[in-house]
Amino acid sequence: MPSIVETPASQGSGASPKRAVENEFSSNIHVTTGAVQSNSYRDGIAIGFRQLWTMLKRNTILQKADTSRQLKSNYHPEPWTLPGIDNCQGRTPKDPCINVMFTPDTAEIRQILTTANKLNQAREPAVNLNFENAMTDVNTLPSSTLGMVPVPDGQFIYNYTLTNPNVTRFGIEFSIVQGPPKNYAYQTWFNFTNAANSTDPFGDSLLSFTRAIDEAILQIAEGSSATLLATLKDFPLVPPTLASDEVVSSLGAMFFFCSTMVIFICVLNQIVTEKELHLRHSMQMMGLKTLVYWLSWWLSNALLVLVNAVIICGFGIAFGFTVFSNSNFLALLITFFLFGLSMVTMAFWITTMVKASRTAILIGIFLFIIGLLFESMVFSNSYVGYIWYDSGTSVVAKYVLMFIPFFNFGKVFLDMSLFATGRLDILTETYIPGPGFHWSDMYNQIPTSYTPTYNAERTRHPDVPAPIQSWYFMLMNIGVFAILTLYFDQVVADDYGNKRHPFFFLDPSFYGFHFRKKLTGRDWIAAQETDKAKRDSRRKKMNKNHELPCEDEDDDDVNAERLLALDPSFETQARICNLQKIFQESAFRKSPLDKIAVKDLCLTLQEGKLLALLGQNGAGKSTTMNMLSGLTKSTGGDAMFYGLSMNSEMAEIRSMMGVCPQHDILFGDLTAEEHIQLYAGLKNVPKHEIPRLAEERLKAVRLWQVKDKLSHTYSGGMKRRLSMVISTLGDPKIIFLDEPTTGMDPTNRRHVWSFIEKFKQGRIIILTTHSMEEADILGDRICVMAHGRLRAIGNSIHLKNKFGAGYRISLVTDPSNTEFVKSQIESRVPDCILKDDSAGALLYQFPPTSMSSIPRLVEWLENNGVTSTNVHPLIQGYGISQTSLEEVFLKLIRDANPDGYQGYETVKKVVDEKPESESTLRNRGSNNNQ
């Protein structure tokens, strides 16, 4: 401890006492602090150990004190007056019972029991126990309460108490060995449970009974040499197998609900994935009917649900669950089947509103959890399970519950399990087997004995309907969900924006009744013109506040094609008139900013003449194909194929149409041959023809060798070839091929080209492509689109001549002759353009206007070229080439994009040039401020 002392130094220096204290203190502190620092760690451990030791000592002392106090009380218990044995009680207070069963029945044992009875009489309360007739049958129940009953042996006591729980109060099995010394041994059987004849070993009655027997033996054996051995044994309990049965009956609805819900989630996933991959659309384009589509899914899932129901019922019976073994098999099977079907149909309905499979699975899991909680909480006991049927429950709640399949399933399963598995009587703890669930029970209202009294004050019983009602509700669920599926499938917009009017079902044409007169070709064309005029005036009105960019004039050929398409006297197999597609920015209103993907397209199509559609990305080619194939609804105009209108008779057109969409329409888990079988089936190709067709077509596109491989193992080019072949099934008169050769190697592409070339006879084929070579080779007519409009149309030569730069001639001469050769060429073709002149190599361009002069020039080149006689020719060599289609295409695209083509569809000028609104500017300003 630092000490405060006055040192001589402090005194001498005249320092204040405070300073002296500080100095002293601080010097001491220094030492002390050092000592504390060096010892604190060790001291800390030492202190810890010391504290631990102290606490251990304290605990030992406390424990010793506690034990000695307990021992003291055990050694010297409080005195206790033992009561006598009172009368037994049966399963219920009214039921007769047996007080004592004893064995063996000898005079000596009767003497012991008589003495014990007498000794018992001396206590309060006491019952007088008489000897009764012997009992030998374990199934005999007493008709009145019995005193002391002789029985054959200990095994009988075991069996009897097991068969008839809570009937017997005590059993006593003697084993007396005659001495000397004589040994009195006995075993007392007692009821260990808290019910009815409870003989709680720590309570009074068991002690009273053994005490009475012990005293009786001591009294009888008094004066002789004897030993006494008393043991205790509890009666057997209800076999443990009942426990699992109890779980199945109370939570079965939950367990069995799970297997059906797995099917539910799978259905959601399968159908939405099919939609997501556009496989459903492709099948519809190939003629698949909506009703057939749903019915096929429904039937295949019905089979799955049936198998699931059979497996559940089979396993339930095999494992011996009473709810299965004690119920009518057919009733159980129908219950599981109807539940499965209603969940499957509910899944169908959900799929109509979901577009992504991931969302579908999440919804499935969510409903699974909700259902699981529902089944486990509501239908795990009859109290909550039946509370909904009370007159006090709101009618709305009842109706809402009716529409939930798992509510109806839970209810009927609860009914069955209550009948089948019986119940444990709470009062007597006795298992009372159920009467079993019979077919007739489906029609009977649930008896009030099964429906708990749950309102103590008003003691109401819910009026629980017959189980069959839940079946009716499940059937109703199936019907309602099926109707909702078909309705939502029509009115919810698909990926292509197709949807019907919410009241489409009021239109007689939906049911196949067409009261409107079919238009003749002339009237149909007139209608298209009127329609276009209306559209134009509407659009003008809407755009009056927006300055639209000036559109350049249509090309002559395009105008001529328009006139031809709108000329009723022109005979052709198909024509497209003023076809238009606008993708709206907002689902609710039209706006000048809506995307015009295709604008007033007019075309004529002839059999045997393939039309190749070229255009930059986003030009509107696929949208045109989608409209023509019925995948997307047009927003204006129409097309007529063989006298059938695209807008109103698409179903008929589809029967003669084949489509190879831009994205492959293949099922990963089907082989090439199975695809042919599927789509040929949809196209109604005669069954016997399908194998021949498959071989012929697959060989043509070189897929025959891999016909048995699953399509997901195919390369991109192979998938494209298969999609192409599919579009040709069913001998279609109209074929749409949207970029059919994308991703194919040159060899296979040529095979496909030759296949298309042969196939186009007698058919209308429209093909879109980005390959100029493909268009050049296959296209009888080529049209180029840009920004949704037709820019040029004609055959390859015509387009090259019209839009190309003409011919190019390159030649080589001796540099000394260059000027002479130039003068000769320019005199023969005055409007030629010299493009290159270097070291005797000349490159000339001849515009299309100079076409007539070219033969003369070629003749002169030939005469002055290398021949067998002329070894030093003026012209050492020359070559002539025409402008390629690619150059024509690039020129047209350049013309259509005066501001430069970025490689993608530019946003409409009107958007670019739209003046920034005040609010936008304000927002920008505030963002900058931030």
Ligand X SMILES: Nc1ncnc2c1ncn2[C@@H]1O[C@H](COP(=O)(O)OP(=O)(O)OP(=O)(O)O)[C@@H](O)[C@H]1O
- Nearest to ligand X of 909, 922 (CB atom): 909
Q: Find the shortest distance in angstroms from Cβ 621 to ligand X.
A: 4
Q: Find the shortest distance in angstroms from Cβ 788 to ligand X.
A: 7
- The token pair that represents 754 in the structure block: 């030759």
The one segment of 612-620, 668-676, 858-866, 922-930 that binds ligand X by CB under 6 A: 612-620
- The token pair that represents 383 in the structure block: 């109290």
| Whole-number Å distance between alpha carbons of 193 and 883 | 105
| Whole-number Å distance between alpha carbons of 625 and 285 | 12
Q: Find the shortest distance in angstroms from Cβ 648 to ligand X.
A: 23
Q: Find the shortest distance in angstroms from Cβ 633 to ligand X.
A: 12
What is the residue whose two structure tokens read 């810890």? 48
The one segment of 48-56, 621-629, 813-821, 857-865 that binds ligand X by CB under 6 A: 621-629
| Whole-number Å distance between alpha carbons of 662 and 617 | 13
| Closest C-alpha among 254, 244, 249 to residue 422 | 249
- Nearest to ligand X of 539, 595 (CB atom): 595
Q: Tell me which of 59, 106, 617, 867 binds ligand X, using CB under 6 A.
A: 617
What is the residue whose two structure tokens read 């399970």? 385
User: From residue 295, how far is each of 684, 741, 912 by CA, in Å?
Assistant: 18, 35, 50
**Residues with Cβ within 8 Å of residue 103, at least 6 apart in sequence:** 150, 151, 152, 153, 154, 156, 157, 171, 172, 173, 174
**Residues with Cβ within 8 Å of residue 218, at least 6 apart in sequence:** 228
Which residues of 105-202 form beta strands (DSSP E)? Answer: 146-150, 168-177, 182-190
**Residues with Cβ within 8 Å of residue 333, at least 6 apart in sequence:** 309, 310, 313
Q: Find the shortest distance in angstroms from Cβ 620 to ligand X.
A: 4
| Whole-number Å distance between alpha carbons of 192 and 172 | 15
Our finding on whether 636 is near ligand X (CB under 6 A) is no
- Nearest to ligand X of 411, 621 (CB atom): 621
The one segment of 295-303, 571-579, 617-625, 693-701 that binds ligand X by CB under 6 A: 617-625
- Nearest to ligand X of 573, 622 (CB atom): 622
Q: Tell me which of 116, 367, 597, 611 binds ligand X, using CB under 6 A.
A: 597
- The token pair that represents 248 in the structure block: 């199945």
Q: Tell me which of 91, 278, 281, 621 binds ligand X, using CB under 6 A.
A: 621
| Whole-number Å distance between alpha carbons of 402 and 476 | 9
Q: Tell me which of 622, 634, 728, 813 binds ligand X, using CB under 6 A.
A: 622
Our finding on whether 619 is near ligand X (CB under 6 A) is yes
Q: Find the shortest distance in angstroms from Cβ 504 to ligand X.
A: 22
Q: Find the shortest distance in angstroms from Cβ 594 to ligand X.
A: 9
Site for ligand X in 63-102 (CB under 6 A): none
In this structure, the number of other CB atoms found within 10 A of the CB of residue 899 comes to 8
| Closest C-alpha among 659, 366, 355, 340 to residue 497 | 355
Identify the H or E element spanning 813.
strand 807-813
The length of the chain is: 930
- The token pair that represents 619 in the structure block: 């030009």
The one segment of 198-206, 460-468, 610-618, 859-867 that binds ligand X by CB under 6 A: 610-618
> How are beta strands 610-615 and 781-786 bridged, if at all?
parallel
Our finding on whether 615 is near ligand X (CB under 6 A) is yes
Is the Cβ–Cβ distance between 387 and 393 less than 8 Å? yes
- DSSP class per residue in 622-681: HHHHHHHTTSS--SEEEEEETTEETTT-HHHHHTTEEEE-SS----TTSBHHHHHHHHHH
Q: Tell me which of 53, 315, 583, 820 binds ligand X, using CB under 6 A.
A: 583
- Nearest to ligand X of 341, 628 (CB atom): 628
- Nearest to ligand X of 512, 900 (CB atom): 900
Our finding on whether 614 is near ligand X (CB under 6 A) is no
Q: Find the shortest distance in angstroms from Cβ 267 to ligand X.
A: 27
What SS3 state is found at 118? Answer: helix
The one segment of 36-44, 48-56, 616-624, 666-674 that binds ligand X by CB under 6 A: 616-624
Our finding on whether 415 is near ligand X (CB under 6 A) is no
| Closest C-alpha among 704, 697, 743, 698 to residue 720 | 743
The one segment of 270-278, 397-405, 618-626, 883-891 that binds ligand X by CB under 6 A: 618-626
- Nearest to ligand X of 123, 595 (CB atom): 595
The one segment of 106-114, 180-188, 614-622, 885-893 that binds ligand X by CB under 6 A: 614-622
Our finding on whether 595 is near ligand X (CB under 6 A) is yes
User: From residue 763, how far is each of 25, 654, 734, 759, 784 by CA, in Å?
Assistant: 115, 14, 6, 8, 21
The one segment of 415-423, 620-628, 652-660, 698-706 that binds ligand X by CB under 6 A: 620-628
- DSSP class per residue in 22-39: HHHHHHHHHHHHHHHHHH
Our finding on whether 38 is near ligand X (CB under 6 A) is no
Our finding on whether 634 is near ligand X (CB under 6 A) is no
- Nearest to ligand X of 648, 742 (CB atom): 742
Q: Find the shortest distance in angstroms from Cβ 634 to ligand X.
A: 13
> CB nearest ligand X: which residue?
622
- Nearest to ligand X of 412, 613 (CB atom): 613
| Whole-number Å distance between alpha carbons of 693 and 679 | 12
DSSP 509: G
The one segment of 32-40, 81-89, 613-621, 861-869 that binds ligand X by CB under 6 A: 613-621
The one segment of 353-361, 449-457, 459-467, 619-627 that binds ligand X by CB under 6 A: 619-627
Q: Find the shortest distance in angstroms from Cβ 632 to ligand X.
A: 8
- Nearest to ligand X of 402, 582 (CB atom): 582
Our finding on whether 591 is near ligand X (CB under 6 A) is no
Half-sphere exposure of 608 (CA within 13 A, CB side): 3
The one segment of 169-177, 284-292, 615-623, 696-704 that binds ligand X by CB under 6 A: 615-623
Q: Find the shortest distance in angstroms from Cβ 545 to ligand X.
A: 23
> How are beta strands 168-177 and 98-103 bridged, if at all?
parallel
Q: Tell me which of 197, 421, 623, 671 binds ligand X, using CB under 6 A.
A: 623
In this structure, the number of other CB atoms found within 10 A of the CB of residue 789 comes to 21
**Count of positions on this chain that bind ligand X (CB under 6 A):** 13
What is the residue whose two structure tokens read 């577009």? 355
- Nearest to ligand X of 394, 586 (CB atom): 586
**Residues with Cβ within 8 Å of residue 532, at least 6 apart in sequence:** 578, 600, 636, 637
- Nearest to ligand X of 404, 628 (CB atom): 628
- Nearest to ligand X of 44, 497 (CB atom): 497
Q: Residue 431: phi, psi to the nearest 5? A: -80, 115
Our finding on whether 769 is near ligand X (CB under 6 A) is no
- Nearest to ligand X of 17, 497 (CB atom): 497
Site for ligand X in 325-384 (CB under 6 A): none
> How are beta strands 789-794 and 781-786 bridged, if at all?
antiparallel
- The token pair that represents 641 in the structure block: 């194929």
Angle (nearest 5°) at CA 708 between 703 and 714: 55
Q: Tell me which of 90, 405, 620, 636 binds ligand X, using CB under 6 A.
A: 620
Site for ligand X in 897-916 (CB under 6 A): 905
Q: Find the shortest distance in angstroms from Cβ 625 to ligand X.
A: 8
Site for ligand X in 475-504 (CB under 6 A): 497
Our finding on whether 618 is near ligand X (CB under 6 A) is yes
Q: Find the shortest distance in angstroms from Cβ 890 to ligand X.
A: 15
Identify the H or E element spanning 783.
strand 781-786
Q: Which residues bind ligand X (CB under 6 A)?
A: 497, 583, 595, 597, 615, 617-623, 905
